[in-house]
Structure 1
Amino acid sequence: MNQIIRVINKQMELQMNKRKSYQIVLAIFFTFLFLAGCSTTKDYVYEKQPGFENVKAGTFDNGKMWTFDFPPVKYFESQYNFSPSDEWFENARLAALRLPGCSASFVSEDGLVMTNHHCVRGALDQVNREGENLPENGFFAKTLEEERKVPNLYIDQLVLIEDVTDQIKSAFESGKTDEEKVQKRQDKIRELEREYSKKTGLICNVVTFFNGGKYSMYGYKRYTDVRLVFAPETQIAYYGGDYDNFTYPRYDLDVAFYRVYDENGKPLKTKNYFKWNKDGVKEGDLIFVIGNPGRTNRLYTVSQLYFYRDYVYPYQLTLLKGLVDIYSDYLKKHPDQKLKYQSMLFGFSNSLKAFTGYHNGLKDPYLMAKKIDFEQNFRNTINSNPELKNKYGKIWDELAEFQKEKAKYFYKVNALNIRGRGGRSLYFQMAADLIDFAEQMKLPDEKRGPRFKDSVLANTKEKFFPKEINREIQLAILMLQLKDMKNAFGSELKALNDLLSGLAPDEAAVELDNKTIVLNEEEVKKLLDNPDDILKSQDPFIKFVLETKKYGETLTQKSQEIQQKEQAKVQLLGNALFDVYGTSIPPDATFTLRISDGVVKGYEYNGTIAPPFTTFYGMYDRYFSFAGYQDWDLPERWKNPPAEFDLSTPINFVSTADIIGGNSGSPLVNKNLEVVGLAFDGNIESLPGNFIFDDTKNRTVAVHTAGMNEALQDIYGATRIVNELLNGKIVE
């Protein structure tokens, strides 16, 4: 807990320093009180706060995540005197790749793929063999034969882009009600995806741009034989740990390499790859980040952003803080379990820091003044045109009302959402699964779901109970979940009162853990053999789920009805946005391929200046300055580097390119489409980039190609990888 407090205090200090740079004394802009069972709504005032009346929207507040559908050729020419050809964009698109949750790229004609170490953590666990600890010790395949295939991993390459806007908009407009419009749009999207997949043999998805102003069909070629080639130790890839995460200066070797193999089990031959520039970049150089940014909300209305500020982010932060505490405390007690749970903790810690930054950004009156100014200008443009005003003039007020309606159900719907990873215990999930099983067994075979038909029922029952349950962690998550329920309902839900039996959530969790049978494999098997007994069970979790099921479904239905109406208005807002601005501003990120431009540049922070580059000297300075601190310890092979290892080599650098989660693993390339770096993070000032981009301090943090070369060659002896990178192909 003390570590979490230190991180939060550090983050608050950074935010205060950030605010000082505006040279404005901030008034109290926002206070949030997480009330138990709160169902009151807020009447928002869409005006700039005192002292911020003259703040104006910036040219690139909506970012620079340009699509390959309509790349900003004229902007590149005017800004950088650079006019890339259609062939340039095609080569860039086909060399770029997408992993589950991350980005990547081909960096040799023999299918070598570059991405981040933190994008391969799951793969390291999967290919780890008995007696090994690859996350701690790293992995290097000295030969092709030693490269290890990662089960169930795939890599996607975007090979098809087609505009399908007219078909989807026509389907939407054919609906008579908001709900019908949304349904018809979804039906048309599914129809087109099936049609294109059948026609092309590709993985086809419709991508929504500008909240529905434009739609494109993206077709992906999927590679399924993916093998791990190299990954350094987690300690050096995540150097500085959670303290340094989302900060700069940084000293991380956050790089890893896969290789794609063809259907014959040979390294894939591809003509589309990024060549390697061993010298990297210098200050002021133009760079492009080509990757798949996950999601942004930059085109949300101010009322939608307020809903995130006051409801969504505070709720998520409460759960994430609880999960970080749970897994941190567990690993302190059980350090031998680090290999199994460290990645989980990294994920929750990373999300906590990110969502804290998003939330802080929405509480920043300077940034919100810019959003308000953009919205006012947009509305004024609409209202000054009678035709546009008639079509779109009421959208903002209607969306504001929907936020108030959503708020009435938000906490309760989430509290009764008992499935999922984040803050949801197995106790409730197992109870719900048992009830589903019993209800399915009441149906004739032909009406049951696929998993419950007689032909596969034995297999379903065999796999019903989890292979492994960590009771200690599950009990801690149950405590967190019961607190969430108590916050949402107070004393108004009888089923919850019965479950708690007058005890505080933590005490009740211990009592319930002692009473329940849902995590007892033998008892669960008995219930599966006698499904009628499930619905008559007196188990406290089964009773609770049964008693709240209809109520929860009713709440969810009401919430979904509001969201459907909101989606219909968001579609109209997208049309309005495109009618006014066209492609002069980029659409929100959708975890699809984008190209972002920027220059290598440091920035002012904390009363000083952050350099554009860091070197290995700085990494060793951290090691000696924080002697005894685990986060800045070095792997053994790094503690005494060979004489030829050049400490002055750049390891990380920053640029003004626009990225967000999902861009991890994106290559940074120069005008010649040569790799000069590898994106792995943003600085703390970049976190509000979820809803606004400000290149004054927003920075992409990347691994430098020179630093990768130096480490691969002199620390790891990975000469075959270095030779392949420099030559663009396998060197025998």
Structure 2
Amino acid sequence: MKKIVTIVTILVFSVQLAAKEGMWIPMLLNNNIAEMQAMGCELSAEDIYSVNHSSLKDAIVSFGGFCTGEFISSKGLVLTNHHCGYGQIQKQSSMEHNFLKDGFWARSMDEELKNPGLFVEQLVYMEDVTNALVNSGDKFKEIEAALIEAKELDNPNLTYKVVPFFGNNQFFLLATIKYNDVRLVGAPPSSIGKFGADTDNWVFPRHTGDFSLFRVYDENGNAFTPAQHLKVNIAPRTPGEFTMVFGYPGRTQEYLTAVEMDQLVNVENARRVEIRDVLLSIMDSEMRADAEVQLKYSSKYARIANGWKKWIGQIEGVQFSKGLDRKRKLEAEFTARIAADANLWDKYSGLLNEIAVNNTQIAEGQLKRNEFIETIYYGMEWFSLMSQLQRAKSDVDMDVALVEFHQNYSRTVSEKTTAAMLSMALATFPDLLGDMDEATFVSTVHNEIDALVELATKDDSIELTAVAPTASNFNTSAFQAFYTVSPDNALLQKATELSAEYMRALMEVFPERNFYPDANSTLRVTYGKLEGVNPRDAVSYGTTTYLDGAMAKYKPGDYEFDMPAKLIELYDNKDYGQYAENGKLPVCNIASNHTTGGNSGSPVLNARGELIGLNFDRIWEGTMSDVNFDPNICRNIMVDSRYVLFIIDKFAGQQWLIEEMELITH
């Protein structure tokens, strides 16, 4: 009787989670659609993903391979986050035309700016090829290549790849198409698109207009016509209404054991936070003191700070939600179930212990490996440049790399960050400098970088080891040290195999659960509700923030909380056009959708599949959702579609873009 009660408890727990937790494969939504419809969804599984006719999936793109975007017009107009387009906006900027600071708006298609190297990629279809590949052993690569070759012969216009799911227990072949002409159409100033900057990053209440607009062109230079684009809903929202996020989440690790999660969160990530504390402090000080440095380093700073703040929230979130206790309870139930079944016991009785032992054997090397990555590879900005130069095939490649590097480089900043990171790195790698002292090394390396840049600007031939011997030797020595301390490949391979076995075991031992695969940068659907949260004692977040709240944060001239005069004027006059709700202008919302990195720029859709928001963040208390999703705490943050259109229309005066879209007012 006791065992039956336990199983029923798990069943109820699974149903509660399934309403919100999970990043589901769109091809397999028939397993979820009944629950989605019970929550209010008005679509069928075929409406969301179809290979026979256009469906919502045809409106979704992978933006640059690192974010998500969506078509919002029949003329290839793509909406994504400001922080997803940030690097391109920065590249298009100069001190004379600072599009990060002032924003950019093309007044016609002729004024849209090309972005070499930027692409969007669409999923055309996916196909389960597990039976052909599972247990194929040494023939895996051969069979995989044959599957792809057959597809290429059938349709050479698509790109094909095989992707593992469920820890290499299931395999899908993905057919995609890429578009390489993606032009910048519009972006608000950073005082809107990045309002709140690092102080507000990962937190709620939020008031950030985190969006930018691009347009996709076909190979003939014409605006691309997608098979489907999203309608934009500007009607009032209802707390509790169904929401769905469609996008390309990057990576999650939801099926770690308690031992693995403890090591990752409380040891490895805690150390990463310590290192980035130092690095970010230096960068922040220099950026606040010099406007040119701020322009050059804003993207670098944002990238480094993003992970730093996420890890802090993850550490606190796992502790607050008792994430390790939840893992241990699951493992206790796992052990009880296999103990009651002789067949399962024979297969899995030693599995958790094997994982723990292997994790211990890997731990020290993994920490040292991370030390290299954080202090040297990321911490010394010139280091990755040297790696790029050593791989360059010609002087032209070197020149391009050096000129691009120098555009966003300050010797003063680099010397200070290098000195601080070097001091940390030497504690783990004491022999890196040989007999040279730290101060001499820092000065010498930067003299060499200056010499390389000068040669590149003159188009002179570059003999790397002759011009930059100290930097070159350090690069080689550091990588040698990295490979020496990194965990043994056999142990890493064993960890992969044990993870795959644990995933198989969970699905076999808990057959009543509807498992979803970890995120792996493939197209996924997650669903939940527009709902607030009480994340901790005496703290409550409603579903929506308004422009009134942004004005309350306003600090004239502040790096993070300044506001454009035009926006203040619109607020003072309450000139919100058709985008207000009860006399107030909505800015951001939260919902219970399960998201992660890569979901940035993903559309948040209502029950009819209409765009109501643009996903861009998670709340601070829920950043642990990559390893420990708790439906009682975890919430995604979106910029309200009404605020996006208000900025385009009333603030920027770009009615021609509004006219391209299909607006829904009910």
Say yes or no: TM over 0.5: yes
Change (3 A) 1:551 1:273: closer
Q: Displacement, 1:163?
A: 0.8
Q: Secondary structure at the match of 1:317?
A: helix
Q: Does 1:426 align with 2:391?
A: no
Aligned counterpart, 1:338: 294
Q: Distance in 2 between matches of 1:86 and 1:420?
A: 49
Residue by residue, what CA displacement relative to the aligned partner does 1:101-126 show, whole Å, maximum 9, x if unpaired?
11111111221111111111112123
Matched with 1:30 is none
1:202 aligns with 2:158: yes
**2:602 pairs with 1:637:** no
Cα distance in 1 for partners of 2:498, 2:413 equals 43
Matched residue type, 1:512? F
* Per-residue Cα deviation, 1:474-523 (whole angstroms, up to 9, x for no partner): 3223223323323325xxx5x34734x6xxxxxx4322234456435379
Tell me if structure 1 keeps the 8 A contact 2:43–2:607.
no
What is the distance in 2 between the residues matched to 1:214 and 1:553? Answer: 31
Map of 1:257-296 to 2, 5 A cutoff? 257-279=213-235, 281-296=237-252
Secondary structure in 1 aligned to 2:267? Answer: helix
Matched, 1:84 2:44: yes
Give the structure 2 partner of residue 212 of structure 1: 168
Q: For 1:585 and 1:643, how far apart are their aligned partners in 2?
A: 48
- Report the AA paired with residue 573 of structure 1: Y
Matches within 5 A, 1:279-678: 279=235, 281-364=237-320, 366-415=322-371, 421-426=377-382, 430=386, 457=394, 459=396, 468=406, 470-489=410-429, 493=430, 495-496=431-432, 498-499=434-435, 508-515=437-444, 518-519=448-449, 521=451, 552-556=482-486, 558-581=487-510, 584-605=514-535, 607-623=538-554, 626=555, 629-641=558-570, 644-645=575-576, 648-678=584-614
Give the drift of 1:666. 0.8
The residue aligned with 2:62 is 98
Worse overlay, 570-579 or 212-221:
570-579
Shift of 1:707: 2.3
User: Which residue identity lines up with residue 89 of structure 1 in the other structure?
Assistant: Y
C-alpha displacement of 1:549: 6.4
Residue equivalent to 2:3: none
Alignment-mate amino acid for residue 66 of structure 1: W
Residues 13-53 of structure 1 deviation map (CA, whole Å, 9 limit, x = unaligned)? xxxxxxxxxxxxxxxxxxxxxxxxxxxxxxxxxxxxxxxxx
Contact 2:321 2:630 in 1 (8 A): no
Task: Report the CA distance shift for 1:475/1:266 in structure 2 as closer, same or farther (over 3 A).
Answer: same
Secondary structure (helix, strand or coil) at the match of 2:223 reads coil
Post-superposition CA distance 1:35-85 (Å, at most 9, x none) = xxxxxxxxxxxxxxxxxxx9x976528922111132212332454475624
Is 1:160 equivalent to 2:125 in the alignment? Answer: yes
**Letter of the 2:420 counterpart:** L
- Paired with 2:77 and 2:473, the residues of 1 have a C-alpha distance of 54
Correspondent of 1:136 among 101, 105, 115: 101
Structure 1 stretch 687-696 or stretch 710-719: which is displaced more?
Answer: 710-719
Q: Give the letter aligned to residue 692 of structure 1.
A: N
Matched to 1:509, the amino acid is E
Whether 1:119 aligns to 2:84 is yes
Structure 2 counterpart SS, 1:661: coil
Give the C-alpha shift of residue 561 in structure 1: 2.3
User: How many residue pairs are counted as aligned between the two chains?
Assistant: 628
TM-aligned CA distance change 1:231 to 1:384, over 3 Å: same
Q: Which amino acid aligns with 1:597?
A: Y
Please tell me the residue identity of whatever aligns with 1:128: S
What amino acid maps onto 2:87 in structure 1? G
Partner of 2:4: none
Counting aligned pairs with the same residue, the percent is 23
- In the TM superposition, residue 463 of structure 1 has moved relative to its aligned partner by 6.0
Which residue of structure 1 aligns with residue 35 of structure 2?
75
Whole-angstrom distance in 1 between the partners of 2:239 and 2:479: 60
Cα RMSD (Å): 3.4
Distance of aligned partners of 1:280 and 1:266 in 2 relative to their CA distance in 1, 3 Å threshold: farther
Is the CA contact 2:124–2:176 (under 8 Å) kept in the aligned structure 1?
Answer: yes
Indicate the larger mover: 649-658 or 413-422.
413-422
| Residues 418, 429 of structure 1: 8 Å contact kept | no
Q: Are residues 81 and 704 of structure 1, via their aligned partners in 2, closer, same or farther at CA, if it must alter by over 3 Å?
A: closer
- C-alpha contact (below 8 Å) 2:432/2:477 kept by paired residues: no
Alpha-carbon contact 1:279-1:705 (below 8 Å) kept: no
Counterpart CA distance in 2 for 1:520 and 1:341 is: 18
Q: Distance in 1 between matches of 2:258 and 2:315?
A: 14
What's the counterpart of residue 693 of structure 1?
629
**Does structure 1 retain, via aligned residues, the 8 Å contact 2:376–2:422?**
no
Segment drifting more, 108-117 vs 198-207: 198-207
| 8 Å Cα contact 1:212-1:570 kept in structure 2 | no
CA contact (8 A) 2:245 2:527 kept: yes
Q: Once the two structures are superposed, what CA deviation does each residue of 1:287-307 show, in whole Å capped at 9, x if it has no partner? A: 111111121111112221122
Scaled by the length of structure 1, the TM-score of the pair is 0.78
- What is residue 181 of structure 1 aligned with on the other side? none
- Other-structure match for 1:505: none
Deviation per CA, 1:612-639: give whole Å up to 9, x if none: 112222222322xx46644222112212
Structure 2 spans left out of the alignment, 5+ residues? 1-9
Q: Aligned partners of 2:189 and 2:178: how far apart in 1?
A: 29
User: Residue 6 of structure 2 corresponds to which residue in structure 1?
Assistant: none
Q: 1:480 to 1:376 in 2, by over 3 A?
A: farther
Q: Are the aligned partners of 1:237 and 1:255 in contact in 2 as well (CA < 8 Å)?
A: yes
Work out the CA distance in 2 between the residues paired with 1:656 and 1:428: 38
Is the 1:478–1:509 contact (alpha carbons within 8 Å) kept by the matching residues of 2?
no
Deviations 1:655-684 (A, max 9, x none): 111111211111111222111111111111
Q: CA deviation at 1:206?
A: 2.5
Deviation at 1:414, TM superposition (A): 4.2
How far the C-alpha of 1:335 sits from its partner, in A, is 2.3
The residue type equivalent to 2:202 in the other structure is: F
Query: Deviations for 1:422-473, whole angstroms, at most 9, x for unmatched residues?
Result: 113536974x788x68xxxxxxxxxxxxx55xxxx55466668666253223
Deviations 1:222-263 (A, max 9, x none): 111111112111111122221111111221211221111122
Secondary structure of 1:110's counterpart equals coil
Alpha-carbon distance between aligned partners in 1 of 2:262 and 2:24, rounded to the nearest angstrom: 26
Alpha carbons of structure 1 residues 523 and 564: separation in structure 2 relative to 1, 3 Å: same
| 1:405 to 1:325, Cα distance in 2 relative to 1, 3 A | same
- Tell me the residue number matched to 1:63: 21
Compared with structure 1, are the counterparts of its residues 621 and 417 closer, same or farther at alpha carbon in structure 2 (3 Å cutoff)? closer
Displacement of 1:323 in angstroms is 2.3
C-alpha displacement at 1:286, in angstroms? 0.7
How far is 1:394 from its partner?
A: 2.3
Quote how far apart the aligned CAs of 1:196 are: 4.4
Matched-pair contact (CA < 8 Å) for 2:167–2:503:
yes
Q: What one-letter code is carried by the residue in structure 2 that aligns with 1:158?
A: L
TM-score by length of 2: 0.85
2:209 corresponding residue in structure 1: 253
In structure 2, how many angstroms separate the alpha carbons of the residues matched to 1:650 and 1:699? 18
Q: Structure 1 counterpart of 2:59, which letter?
A: A
Secondary structure of the 2:488 match is helix
Match of 2:186 among 230, 239, 256: 230
Cα offset for 1:157? 0.8
